Amino acid sequence: MEAITVLARPHAKQFNPQENKKRNVADLVIEHLVNEGVDKIFGIPGGATVPFHISLERHPDIEFILARHEGGAAFMADCYARTSGRLGVCCATTGPGATNLMTGVAAAFTDSIPMLVITGMNPSDTWGRGDFQESTPYCGVDTTQMFSSICKSSEIITSEKTLQFRLRHAIATAMTGRPGPVHIAIPRDLWSKMVTSEIWDRTHYIAHAPSPSDEDIKHVVELLTNASRPLVIYGSGATPLSACDLAEVSELLQIPLVTTPRAKGKGLTTIPSSFLGNMGISATPVVDQLMNESHFDVVLSVGMGFGSYATNSWFRAIQPTRCMIQVNIDPNAIGRIYPADIGIVADSTQFTGKLLRAIRASSLKASKERIAWLQRYSQQEKWPLANSLPQSGDRLLSPLEIIRAVDSAAGKQSIVMADSNSILLWATHHLPERPSRRFISVWGSASMGHVTAGAIGAKLANPDDDVIAMVGDGCFLMNGNEIATAVDLKLPIVWVVNANHQLGMIHYELRATGQTKSATFRKHDIAGFARALGAYGIHHKPGQNLSQLIKESLHLDGPTVIQVDVDPKATPPMGLKKEGSRQWQEYISNL
């Protein structure tokens, strides 16, 4: 896992203290969320949350987004938070409503996404009596205990007197340190209880991010300057601002800069020549070459946990000969995979800001030898989109052609998203970095259908951005029902469906055995399904300009699903994954 620092937090809306005014619990929960800057809540109502929804409907500053499944609501809240830096919020009733949220919440936990999960609970005077859909610690499925394993905290609020304190504590827990989801369950009888309003300015309960010492910064600058073969890596824990800082650092000191797969597409304002792309699974070819040929003496990693996707299971070349500098907001990530000679627990923005200022203030320059070494790689093609594309006899497209079309169609202010498995590998390997364009991937839990639903949350958080979601037909069939949610909201999102009637990655793994029946399904009319839900559904025809089709669809008055039949024999790019796995097995066997 890689620790993720949330994006820059917006200023929350402020409320004047109302010391003497009584409010019901439902109203107070909403007012606390508005105070935190939340303007959307995703979910499905149920009996245990009816009072909450009554308050939601009459509050002018927050909108309830009715999903088609609680799992989709959790994915929407996740991508809302991923692309805005604000707290994502989802809600559901007790029992199956709560359990349906869990895959989306687990994905947020794995990827360190700040989320507040609100579930209802049976009235407190019925606990243990087998009430309808009971999910208390005394009877039925204990959902609070279930969420505790996939959340930073999980608790039942049992008193209106402690509600506001516990809610503030939950929000602070979600947003600080290594971010992640938190869960609170509120019994139905508590929603209507009255209590004095206690709205605090967020600065009174949100802790300041940790900052590195001046001594640490001075030491890092010296190491990077004097190194012969340094490398700088940023992971998904780096904020977009810190990624931009590191891009400037790498250019000033002529150090190769690479990202982890999950950190691809942070939205760099400029793409320096020193930036070589992503490492690990589906790495850019030039980064694989760099890893194979170089013996790094100093490695600086920021917001990276060195997980298996980033390191090809465990790639020996990443371990430097002289010094590993690891910067992470989570102390548990320091030295977990590779020995950290210098471990710095700090917020990525605080660290890179200080580092960049120190380098600007110095007159340090890279040696001619290091400049020449970097140029061997920086002058090569990084994202091989222009290569010739072999096609099968029936003119089915390659997934690479989808990537090329999306790259051409996406505007300067855009969010390109890729659902899990094979289309994600293609996009990670081939989609070029473009200034200010963001790429959202879901490597952590690799939950199928995550982006299919989550694109709605991303668009709602960024209404002025083009949002294009690349998904496989297997992923779409899991959460394609959420297209109906986008129809209700008239969101001009474009889903490009990579249709090969198979579960791509598993099918690829099974091919060597010849037993692929369990990962193959019949062809579906996905475009027709989208039209049945009220969206624009287009089945791409051979020879049709896919890029132009995407561009036109982005300007329609609602969502569009474009079904693209692709060559089912296309092999997803895996890079050095097999070699990394071999090195890991060698390392383990020698312990």
**Domain limits of the chain?**
22-204, 214-378, 399-565
Q: Which fold has domain 399-565?
A: Rossmann fold (3.40.50)
This prediction has a pTM of: 0.90
- Which phi and psi angles does 473 have, rounded to 5°? -65, -30
Strands 40-43 and 153-156, how do they pair? unpaired
Band (11; pLDDT cuts 50, 70, 90) = very low
Please state, in angstroms and rounded to a whole number, the distance separating the CA atoms of residues 546 and 405.
Answer: 6
Q: For residue 579, what pLDDT is reported?
A: 58
Band (14; pLDDT cuts 50, 70, 90) = very low
How does pLDDT run across 541-589, given as a tens digit for each residue?
A: 988 899 999 999 999 999 999 999 988 877 777 665 565 556 556 555 6
For 214-378, CATH gives 3.40.50.1220
Establish whether domains 22-204 and 214-378 are of one fold.
yes
Q: Is the pLDDT of residue 390 over 70?
A: no
Please state, in angstroms and rounded to a whole number, the distance separating the CA atoms of residues 468 and 493.
Answer: 6
Alpha-helical (H) ranges within 94-191 are 96-100, 102-110, 143-148, 163-175
Exposed / middle / buried, residue 361 (Cβ in 10 Å: 0-12, 13-18, 19+): exposed
Write out the E strands in 6-83.
22-24, 40-43, 63-66
Burial pattern 292-331, b for ≥16 Cβ within 10 A else e, equals: eebebbbbbbbbbbbbbbbbbbbbebbbbeebbbbbbbbe
How does pLDDT run across 350-389, given as a tens digit for each residue?
A: 999 999 999 999 877 888 999 999 999 999 988 876 554 4
How does pLDDT run across 313-354, given as a tens digit for each residue?
A: 777 888 899 999 999 999 999 998 889 999 999 999 999 999
Q: For residue 381, what pLDDT is reported?
A: 87
Q: What distances in angstroms separate CA 32 from CA 166, 194, 549, one per listed residue?
A: 11, 15, 43
Q: For residue 570, what pLDDT is reported?
A: 77
Q: Is the pLDDT of residue 133 over 90?
A: no
Q: Does domain 22-204 have CATH number 3.40.50.970?
A: yes
Q: For residue 366, what pLDDT is reported?
A: 84
Pick from 203-207, 270-274, 277-281, 472-476: least confident: 203-207
Comparison of pLDDT for 465 and 442, the residue scoring more: 465
* Kind plus residue range of the DSSP H or E element containing 122: none
Please state, in angstroms and rounded to a whole number, the distance separating the CA atoms of residues 384 and 387.
Answer: 6
Nearest one of 399, 390, 388 to 422, comparing CA atoms: 399
Which residue in this structure is represented by tokens 């793994």?
509
Q: Is the pLDDT of residue 484 over 90?
A: yes
The SS3 assignment for 183 reads: strand
Q: What distances in angstroms separate CA 57 from CA 52, 66, 146, one per listed residue?
A: 9, 12, 30
Q: Is the pLDDT of residue 271 over 90?
A: yes
Q: For residue 585, what pLDDT is reported?
A: 62
